[in-house]
Structure 1
Amino acid sequence: MQVNTQQDPFKEMRPYNDREVEAVLQNLLYDNELISAITHYQFPSLPGWLAKFLKPFVRIGLARELGDIQSVKQFQQAIAKYMAKMIARTTTRLTCSGMENLEGDEAYLFVSNHRDIAMDPAFVNWTHYQQDLPTVRVAIGDNLLSKPYISDLMRLNKSFIVNRSAKGPREMMAAVTQLSAYIDHSIQEGESVWIAQREGRAKDGDDKTDPALLKMFYVSQRKQRNFPEAVKRLNIVPVSISYEFDPCDRAKAIELAAREREGVYEKGEHEDIESIVQGITGFKGAVHIHFGDVIVNDYEAPELLAAELDRQIHQNYFLHPSNYIAAGLLEEATEEQQAVFEKRFEGLGSRESEIMRNIYANPVFNHESKKV
């Protein structure tokens, strides 16, 4: 949907606001691709001709579900019941720590390790929702928004678009500056933000902050203030998200092994979407989210700040039996837990198995290396 708001420098990237919700939802109801996708998801085994027959009924059901929604909060409340069902079906436990140190009336920039495309920010938002705190704005790359209806749905859910497809130095600098300005703008107007500590997931389980990301935070502020001042006004909080089981672990191991063998890995056309679906619907076991300490010290360089973010993310990462087993610390797990973990490797080659074991072991090694 094209936004016609006047004098809005962020209109193409920002989440939709309450005034826009009703019109966006109406457009979605008449998006044939979306209706087809929902029909296929609900009835995956139906032949095409019968699915086509059911599409009008799916549209009517969707209209009934969305018809009274007129605000972003109402849209997220509608999503919440599906989130609750997903959590009940795909996790054994969802726990959170560190939120007691956050002020309810403050806005924060949550810089998080990144394991799952959709679920990392979704779980952060869920913890806020459960505490009756405002949900956060979520940074999402435009490479994941292959369809207009996906972009609309994400922007209804408080996501903003990171332009990763920019080409050429000038266009790339403009995109980085706009992103930097929007993040600062969000924090200053009281809206918290979630962003991954680096571009893309840590597919090898080795969570490391990219200093380039931290430089981006500063780009739009460089004429007004120095780096430490720009950092402090963002209220940066490191976030550690840990999954007992990663629904995409096998796919990650296969991809990384292919990169080793061939030097390159060609993604399938819909591979990112398939990863999102697998991450949402796949079994995760126990999940824990920890909110670290607000960054208050002066860090003169992005590399120094990255080191502090890594220290907190690694030290506060909740280690599951699966992590200890992968690291060879079998005394930390029962025989039953070991058997469940080893079953995940069935059908993998030796190198894929080794890589997948490292995916789970690396958080243990990082945690141990950051002990004071």
Structure 2
Amino acid sequence: MMPNDGSNSAEAAIDLDRFADIRPYHDDEVADVLAHLAHDSELLDAITRYRLPRLAKVAPPLARAIASFRLQREMRGVSTIREFQQRIAHYMAHMISRTTRGFSVEGLDKLSPDEAYLFIGNHRDIALDPAFVNYALYDGGHDTVRIAIGDNLLQKPFVTDLMRLNKSFIVPRSAKGKRAMLAAYQSLSGYIRHSITDDNHSVWLAQREGRAKDGIDCTDTAIVKMLCMARRAEEKDAAVGNAIRELKIVPVSISYEFDPCDINKARELEAKHSSGHYDKVEFEDIRSIVTGITGDKGRVKLVFGEPLSADFDTPDAVAEEIDRQVLEHYPLFPSHQLALAETGLAPDLVDLSTVTPEDRERFRARLASVPPALRPWWLRQYANPILNRAGRIALDDA
């Protein structure tokens, strides 16, 4: 079952007014946005750099013209979000077959396709974490999700358009001042609640701001507090448990056997450790998105947890339950066990019983490509999920 954003309904019109600055596009906006994108020079340049690299160097105008023609051909007949996502599903299946050794899903059979949920997951890859959630839902006969994305990633207008076509809504990370931030998060909380309780439309949200580059998954309690804002604006003394229950939060765990961005993450971790800071180059996040999509991921597994009940008195208790489920369900691959063994940090936690010679060979080849100075940071990305589950992460590591 694919989504219907109800663009012609009275409810959608109200939504359009209240959340125009952050919401995804509606069906009646799709055609105009696609027509604009087909002639967006920055998007066309980005496409030609990866699809027509030689022609892009010697004859940029011709390369852009070809890319524009192909884009218009690919999007011919697309006039709704549903149709746009159906095209994406085709490319997603292609990406899975080309860059993974298999994608598996658990726990989806326990969720109703007729209900909306707030999926809160660990965060490894900027674009692929919610993309895999969406693909699993689509393949399992569920509606796809609306995706929370930080405005820091929307560095180009065409990126914003593409994300909003794919049902992304904007998380305001760049608002300045306490008053502006409060207003922005009240609006965000209102939109998420509106999506779940009014539109019956599921949402995906990362458990904390930014990717867990060190492999340490931990829910930010501030996110839970934000989620309660909308209910408490309506009912000042609303209990945390009641606010959480109506959102039907489902923790989600995603694990990649290998992370295409692991060396870049190790470089950032090493820089922060040695100099106290890391300065991103321009459009680094966009490059990370491309690397994540095109790079080898090995096996990928996604596990849906159990919906949270109302039995929580504090945001901290909610965060702890999300963490418990994310860590308990986090799939471990041979890369995690081999990395932990390599670090020598916790021999008692290492389990190599299912590791094959092929697994060792792939891991060794991958490790050999990592610069020696970055290897400790690279290894910890894979070892930390095991250490975290066992409560072996020191406070100064998190």
Aligned mates of 2:103, 2:318 — CA distance in 1 = 29
1:161 aligned counterpart, secondary structure: strand
Paired residues in the alignment total 367
Q: Deviations over 1:217-238 (max 9, x none)?
A: 0112223122111111000000
Per-residue deviation, 1:351: 4.6
> What is the aligned partner in structure 2 of residue 26 from structure 1?
35
> What is the aligned partner in structure 2 of residue 71 from structure 1?
80
Per-residue deviation, 1:50: 1.4
Single out whichever of 262-271 and 36-45 deviates more from structure 2: 36-45
Q: Does 1:242 align with 2:255?
A: yes
Alignment of 1:52-67 (within 5 A): 52-67=61-76
> What is the aligned partner in structure 2 of residue 253 from structure 1?
266
- Counterpart selection for 1:321 from 319, 323, 334: 334
> What is the aligned partner in structure 1 of residue 126 from structure 2?
117
- Counterpart selection for 2:202 from 164, 171, 192: 192
> What is the aligned partner in structure 2 of residue 103 from structure 1?
112
Per-residue deviation, 1:339: 2.5
> What is the aligned partner in structure 1 of residue 386 from structure 2?
364
Q: Deviations over 1:7-53 (max 9, x none)?
A: 61101110111111111111111211112211222112335341322
Per-residue deviation, 1:293: 0.3
Per-residue deviation, 1:352: 1.6
Q: Does 1:182 align with 2:191?
A: yes
> What is the aligned partner in structure 1 of residue 211 from structure 2?
201
Q: Does 1:165 align with 2:192?
A: no
Gaps of 5+ in 2: 1-12, 342-349, 393-398
Alignment of 1:317-356 (within 5 A): 317-328=330-341, 329=350, 330-356=352-378
Q: Does 1:215 align with 2:225?
A: yes
Say whether the 8 Å CA contact 2:257–2:297 is kept in structure 1: yes
Q: Deviations over 1:247-284 (max 9, x none)?
A: 11111111100110000000000110111000000001
Could you tell me the percent identity over the aligned residues? 49
Aligned mates of 1:318, 1:307 — CA distance in 2 = 19
> What is the aligned partner in structure 2 of residue 10 from structure 1?
19
Per-residue deviation, 1:369: 4.2
Over 3 Å counting, the alpha-carbon distance change for 1:347 and 1:95 in structure 2 is closer
Q: Does 1:45 align with 2:45?
A: no
Say whether the 8 Å CA contact 1:90–1:281 is kept in structure 2: yes
Q: Deviations over 1:301-321 (max 9, x none)?
A: 111111111110000011101
Single out whichever of 109-118 and 37-46 deviates more from structure 2: 37-46
Aligned mates of 2:327, 2:32 — CA distance in 1 = 43
Per-residue deviation, 1:348: 3.6
1:220 aligned counterpart, secondary structure: helix
Over 3 Å counting, the alpha-carbon distance change for 1:294 and 1:47 in structure 2 is closer
> What is the aligned partner in structure 2 of residue 288 from structure 1?
301
Say whether the 8 Å CA contact 1:43–1:51 is kept in structure 2: no
Say whether the 8 Å CA contact 2:119–2:249 is kept in structure 1: yes
Letter in 2 for 1:122: A
Gaps of 5+ in 1: none
> What is the aligned partner in structure 1 of residue 396 from structure 2?
none
Letter in 1 for 2:219: T
Per-residue deviation, 1:347: 4.9
Aligned mates of 1:359, 1:37 — CA distance in 2 = 30
Say whether the 8 Å CA contact 1:21–1:72 is kept in structure 2: yes
1:311 aligned counterpart, secondary structure: helix
Aligned mates of 2:140, 2:353 — CA distance in 1 = 36
> What is the aligned partner in structure 2 of residue 270 from structure 1?
283
Per-residue deviation, 1:104: 1.0
